[in-house]
Structure 1
């Protein structure tokens, strides 16, 4: 027998989606954030391909064109090696944004698992996991990431792992609070009453109801993750040249300020627009997805 799908079942979901989009469109700043994030994601995917001087992205030099000011040929000028700054910034978008996304994703997964187990199990398991979380929170995130990155060594993967290991406690506390609230709902009690296994109750009935706050936090955290990635690159324990990355580009250009200001302006503006866009997007999503923020 073939399954028959009732069209009425999809109506509530589509209606909720339309209302959510309507609420999101009410804020011009949220729309601006979505546009900026879309632009950042576009260059994340195609920045390296669209770079006007791809040979410079791969480490090519042109010493005869050192420190050329902005012009039609080089809209953001050239650096101390004669490389086109615009090409480096466009290619650096891929590294910086993907690293930030990796940090947020890994941190969210680890924190969600820890917080879900702590909130659902309770007792001594909750106590141990939350004390571990509190212990991690007592160490400044950037300092902890620097220590781990210095121990693991430079490189894209090591940098992402280092920051992720300092990023999960916020998600653990958030998810634990949500689980403690949701596990007392009537439908959870009903699921337990009919003999549902604890794992099914947790993953089928509780965790799906924590997705909205986690999504909002991830969108807000993207900007801070990009800044942290840039900070590690700036102090020299992140991605190393010739791989272009915004923090590394800023670190190199500081030696030539203020005479050759354009070498720092492009990566600085790219970082500002990315962080600004993700923060506006997160604020808009919070208004739509977080019931406590609705009026």
Structure 2
């Protein structure tokens, strides 16, 4: 009897062991599954954190791009106008041009701007042929115009006073101008160079002209050398600055400057607020934005 009971207990123990083993296996699987789910959740959390960091980096990059864009907008006045001036005629073959070819610095396809042109003396006339002030006028350039050059220039070897003429592209063809063009380089702020030199004044334009006078190095005994020209006032184009050109520098690289002078109200008059300066170059512009 004890033997049968022992056998039954042994059998029941074995069954129980199997059941416990099975249950333990299910519990282990659940634990493992739970661990997997936790891992998935952890991974998900990691992905979310990375996503947040990526979004933050993207926003930072966008903010930087916006700042660069705003800086670019602030300096849109740095360069001459972008529209191609109207006019032009058919290009004259080389063997039909008066004078002789002269090679300076202008290469085909380069853009040059008008510099030092007094608005009261504008426009700068564009002729159908070089070295002929009595020829047909095929276009006109204003003080803020820019043109693309063809690379062709002419001079009269027997008449140095005739100047060096440059062929330019207009909207409907080509034409020739007698000087007045230059490369425009990068722009920099130079306010500190003038704050102590240009005192407040009752008239705003007096301050702008004072900056140009000092940039040109004008003195009471100066008869030759650089000269300045008032190109525009704030009212002319709805801007907040005066535009002045200083030309005629005795330098084989820098021909002059275009100045952007901002004036602010101060008391009963005005004072100098900001000066930005663009170099005018004779031979071209380097990759870093300075005169070659």
Q: Fold match, TM over 0.5?
A: no
For the pair shown, the structure with the greater C-alpha radius of gyration is 2
Between Structure 1 and Structure 2, the one with more strand by share is 2
Give the structure-2-normalised TM-score.
0.25
Give the structure-1-normalised TM-score.
0.25
